[in-house]
Chains A and B, each alone.
Chain A
Amino acid sequence: MTNPAADVKNADVVFITGSNTTEAHPVIGAYVKQAVNRGTKLIVADPIRIPLAEIADVYLQIKPGTSLALSNGMLNVIFAEGLEDKEYIGKNTAGAEALRELVAEYTPERTAEICGVKADDIARAARMYASAGAASILYCMGITQHVNGVNNVYGLSNLALSTGNLGKPGSGVNPLRGQNNVQGACDMGALPDVYTGYQQVGSPDAQKKFEDAWGAKLSGEKGMPSTVALPAVLEDKVKMLYVVGENPAVSDADNQHAIKAFKKAFLVVQDIFLTETAELADVVLPAACFAEKDGTFTNSERCVQRVRKAVPPKGMADWEIFVKLMNLMGFRCHYDEPEDIFNEMAALTPSYAGITYSRIEENNGLNWPCPANGHPGTPILHVGAPIKGKGEFKAVEWVPSQEAQMEGFPVLLTTSRLQHQYHTRTMTGKTRAIEEHCPGSFVQINPKDAESWSIEDGETVRVSSPRGSVEARAIVTDGLKEGTASMPFHWADSANVLTNAEDLDPVSKIPGLKLAGVKIEKL
């Protein structure tokens, strides 16, 4: 996030898209509701009529996969009506002309047709967003988990840049990160193309820096992302998978296909429970959970905060396992405690260089970039000017997803999350009240579709895609448009049996989990 979570309360307008905020990030959802109660205007664009849509000033129930078209359509109105921030664009951006030309084709009328909403509503949303003193964009996986996920994000950053909504309170482009330390895992270089702090693999300087610090020869070749590695197992290019603290046998797109890779490779799984993935493993290593070890997590707003050991570990702390394995591999190393690891990392990572355990304590958390001791941290990015100097507009065309054009699979299925469950339920599923409240999967469909398929509310139906087929309880609701459906992904035999793992975003290699062509039938 460019801005802190609570900063949404300073916005005059909040634009939420692809985020069911009150369900997936409930505390931020509460901040949005607080803001609306105090007069902040709210725009929601989402295929699912999410709870926040009920209190929105403009609600755009777009078809799944049309976010980029909506952004381009809003930009069309902004430029056509001269609502852009000309001074900000002139001083702080590059590429405005190409964008202006491209979005000229996205008239509200044409965009309305693509998105399945009213042209007037698109124009109203654009005017509301562009006329605000400060407008904040909140987005989540509904934007990124598409085969054009990166372009969807460009569409939103174009909106913020064109209206100067960056670098000030109540503004920003704010992706809400789904997992407690997904921001930290990225920052720490648990990615195939970067070391810590996004220092590039392939940069000779970065490589030498880490080789010198670690006393090891490193590969200069970028590695594989996970979505490429699993197919590579089936092509015999990858022979061994070491999976730490995740359950891709449930959470991966087309999980039945992923399971074939887990069965074929030599699989090591390190986790706190015998998950669906661990059940397929050749070796299972019992780990310690967050309450059983010291360390830090970095939250969605880039705030580094402490995790403290409260109870003894049932397994072994993950860091201790890694130290043992390094030594067994002949790479000698020793750390007394996690703080030593943090200090080694911070010394190699400019954005974390000024962060220490004692400073985290003193400051009640520190937001990176925090380049030096004494630096107060950076809650808001791009203050004064974009960090790179100029914010680049990206003129990108919307193209319809293949999933929306498949013969025999006419329904657009989007995946969802429930407030009470978390990811693949390995943790939430152990609390009885949660399981009683959210006992199982379901598929939500529109009343007219239900009628034409002769399906009644509560009936078990079959949902199929070219990848597979599942049964689920039907919930008939006008929260979804005709021709669209939604299903939570928390259960092993639900949405991810149906999603497509082959078609990936060309840049991020993310699969289009939020849009799968399906058919729904009476049993």
Chain B
Amino acid sequence: MINIFLNGSELAVKEGSTVLEACKGAGVSIPTFCYDERLKAEGSCRICVVEVEGAPKLMPSCSTLVAPGMRVLTHSPKVVKLRKKLLELMLSNHEISCLQCEKAGNCLLQDYAYEYEVDTEKTKGRKKIAEYASSNKFFSLDQSKCILCGRCARTCSQLQANDVWAMAGRGFETEVSTPFGIDMEEAGCVHCGNCVSVCPVGALKPNTRHKFRAWETRKVRSTCAYCGVGCQIDLLVKDDKVVGVEPAGGKSNNGLLCVKGKFAFDFINHKDRLTEPLIRGEDGRLRPASWDEALGLVAGKTKEIRAEFGADAIMGLSSARVTNEENYLFMKYMRAAVGTNNVDHCARL
């Protein structure tokens, strides 16, 4: 551990940590766009700059390491002035359409513009052309909202290890692009949506049919119900409907998801969901029935078959899709209430 002075207070921090990490540990909030703790620090957006005593210029806190006795000011007039200027420049060519933008309420640019009282009228610049043409059916890129933080490209390269996105061009023409601008499908995109999940603004967004504002939703932490990786997710819920999925930092997924976990949640509220029990009638067709009738029939038939042929004439197939509690209860039902060890599930298939 070494000691630094953060906004005048002495603080013990781990050697080798960055100024940003030290600030986070001390509960001092620093704005960031390009920073992601899982990625190599790039220091490209400059919004996280701080004043370090003795340094000739402001330093990006995400890529500056702490040193013994270092004196850091995180919100000095000089720092605030530069952050404000950076935000003005970012907004000068940004399509400011917060009234229509799905990202409103969950957008770092919007948050910081508010926090730093940025005047969006002060600097006006040329806007980029909005849409990036792609056959991708899962998400889209709106260049007019992109702030060029590069998190999408670095996530694709360093975490998904897929290199579909990169920063291409120079100056005003810099943009997020596939290699040589080829179609995303051709570039090998697997639609994991991890670039969408890290985009701090409204540039990359799901092609969703759900309309919602961030403040209308609540997040419920859960576990993805597809494969056995067990990715941690936040279900976005509006009016008792799941309208989106965001990755969470679980032990097994570290904030990553695949196309199924991120985009294939429409089944939850699908019109074809079964809502009432069905019983096969005399005519051979399934007809709606009450819970009492359906469960009465299942229990009655179970008792009847057990009486005539023994409990081992009944087989229960549990499910690798339901919870542990339900698997436990089903095997208890088969063993204790029905009286057979004929219980299995689809582990082999």
Contact check, A338 vs B336: say whether CB atoms are below 8 A apart.
no
Contact of A295 among B267, B318, B326 (CB under 8 A): B326
Pick out which of these stretches binds chain B: A154-162, A440-448, A461-469, A508-516: A508-516
In the complex, the chain B residue whose C-beta lies closest to that of A312 is B240
The interface residues of chain A lying within 8 Å CB-to-CB of B296 are 328
Asked if A345 is an interface residue, CB under 8 A from chain B, the answer is yes
Asked if B1 is an interface residue, CB under 8 A from chain A, the answer is no
Contact check, A322 vs B314: say whether CB atoms are below 8 A apart.
no
Contact check, B324 vs A310: say whether CB atoms are below 8 A apart.
no
Known contacts A180-B227, A238-B314, A240-B305; is-contact A341 B298 (Cβ 8 Å): no
Contact check, B349 vs A252: say whether CB atoms are below 8 A apart.
yes
In the complex, the chain A residue whose C-beta lies closest to that of B271 is A430
The interface residues of chain A lying within 8 Å CB-to-CB of B323 are 181, 184, 290, 293-297, 307, 318-319, 338
Known contacts A239-B305, A240-B302, A422-B226; is-contact A345 B273 (Cβ 8 Å): no
Contact check, B240 vs A311: say whether CB atoms are below 8 A apart.
yes
Contact check, A186 vs B346: say whether CB atoms are below 8 A apart.
no
In the complex, the chain B residue whose C-beta lies closest to that of A420 is B259
Enumerate B308-349 residues with CB–CB distance to A below 8 Å: 309, 311-333, 335-349
Known contacts A26-B258, A283-B279; is-contact A242 B315 (Cβ 8 Å): yes
What DSSP secondary structure best describes chain A's contact surface?
Answer: mixed
Enumerate A175-218 residues with CB–CB distance to B below 8 Å: 176-193, 195-196, 201, 210, 214, 216-218
Contact check, A282 vs B280: say whether CB atoms are below 8 A apart.
yes
Contact check, B311 vs A4: say whether CB atoms are below 8 A apart.
no
In the complex, the chain B residue whose C-beta lies closest to that of A429 is B267
Contact check, A24 vs B227: say whether CB atoms are below 8 A apart.
yes
Contact with A along B137-148 (1 / 0, CB 8 A): 110000000000
Contact check, A432 vs B235: say whether CB atoms are below 8 A apart.
no
Q: How far is the CA of A299 from the CA of B252 in the complex (A)?
A: 9
Asked if B237 is an interface residue, CB under 8 A from chain A, the answer is yes
Asked if A126 is an interface residue, CB under 8 A from chain B, the answer is no
Asked if B230 is an interface residue, CB under 8 A from chain A, the answer is yes
The interface residues of chain B lying within 8 Å CB-to-CB of A218 are 335-336, 339, 341
Contact check, B345 vs A185: say whether CB atoms are below 8 A apart.
yes
Contact with B along A296-322 (1 / 0, CB 8 A): 111111011111111110111111011
Known contacts A182-B320, A319-B326, A419-B258; is-contact A291 B268 (Cβ 8 Å): yes
Q: How far is the CA of A271 from the CA of B192 in the complex (A)?
A: 27
Contact check, B327 vs A286: say whether CB atoms are below 8 A apart.
no
Contact check, B295 vs A328: say whether CB atoms are below 8 A apart.
yes
Asked if B228 is an interface residue, CB under 8 A from chain A, the answer is yes
CB of B322 to closest CB in A, whole Å:
5
Pick out which of these stretches binds chain B: A29-37, A390-398, A400-408: A29-37
Number of A residues, CB within 8 Å of B: 149
Enumerate A1-37 residues with CB–CB distance to B below 8 Å: 4-6, 22, 24-28, 30, 33-34, 36-37
CB of B74 to closest CB in A, whole Å:
29
Contact check, B223 vs A306: say whether CB atoms are below 8 A apart.
yes
The interface residues of chain A lying within 8 Å CB-to-CB of B264 are 420, 422, 427-428, 430-431, 434
Pick out which of these stretches binds chain B: A69-77, A111-119, A220-228: A220-228
Contact check, A427 vs B267: say whether CB atoms are below 8 A apart.
yes
In the complex, the chain B residue whose C-beta lies closest to that of A144 is B348
Q: How far is the CA of A221 from the CA of B253 in the complex (A)?
A: 41
CB of B348 to closest CB in A, whole Å:
4
In the complex, the chain A residue whose C-beta lies closest to that of B248 is A364
Asked if B265 is an interface residue, CB under 8 A from chain A, the answer is yes
Enumerate B98-112 residues with CB–CB distance to A below 8 Å: none
Asked if B26 is an interface residue, CB under 8 A from chain A, the answer is no
Asked if B242 is an interface residue, CB under 8 A from chain A, the answer is yes
Contact check, B138 vs A433: say whether CB atoms are below 8 A apart.
yes
CB of B52 to closest CB in A, whole Å:
31
Asked if A243 is an interface residue, CB under 8 A from chain B, the answer is yes
Enumerate A502-523 residues with CB–CB distance to B below 8 Å: 508-511, 513
Q: How far is the CA of A508 from the CA of B344 in the complex (A)?
A: 12
In the complex, the chain B residue whose C-beta lies closest to that of A237 is B313
Asked if B55 is an interface residue, CB under 8 A from chain A, the answer is no
Contact check, B342 vs A229: say whether CB atoms are below 8 A apart.
yes
Enumerate A260-310 residues with CB–CB distance to B below 8 Å: 266, 268, 271-274, 278-279, 281-287, 289-301, 303-310
Contact check, A266 vs B326: say whether CB atoms are below 8 A apart.
no
Enumerate A88-123 residues with CB–CB distance to B below 8 Å: none
Known contacts A26-B259, A246-B319; is-contact A219 B324 (Cβ 8 Å): no
Asked if A342 is an interface residue, CB under 8 A from chain B, the answer is yes
Asked if A324 is an interface residue, CB under 8 A from chain B, the answer is yes
Instruction: Identify 9 residue pairs between A and B in the complex whose beta-carbon atoms are under 8 Å apart, listed by A's number.
Output: A4-B252, A34-B159, A224-B344, A273-B270, A284-B286, A287-B322, A318-B326, A331-B337, A432-B137
* Chain B interface (Cβ < 8 Å from any Cβ of A): 137-138, 158-162, 190-192, 207, 220-232, 235, 237, 240-242, 249-254, 256-260, 263-270, 272-280, 286, 291, 294-299, 301-303, 305, 309, 311-333, 335-349
Listed from nearest, the 6 A-B pairs whose CB atoms lie closest are A299-B230, A295-B323, A245-B319, A223-B341, A33-B161, A177-B228
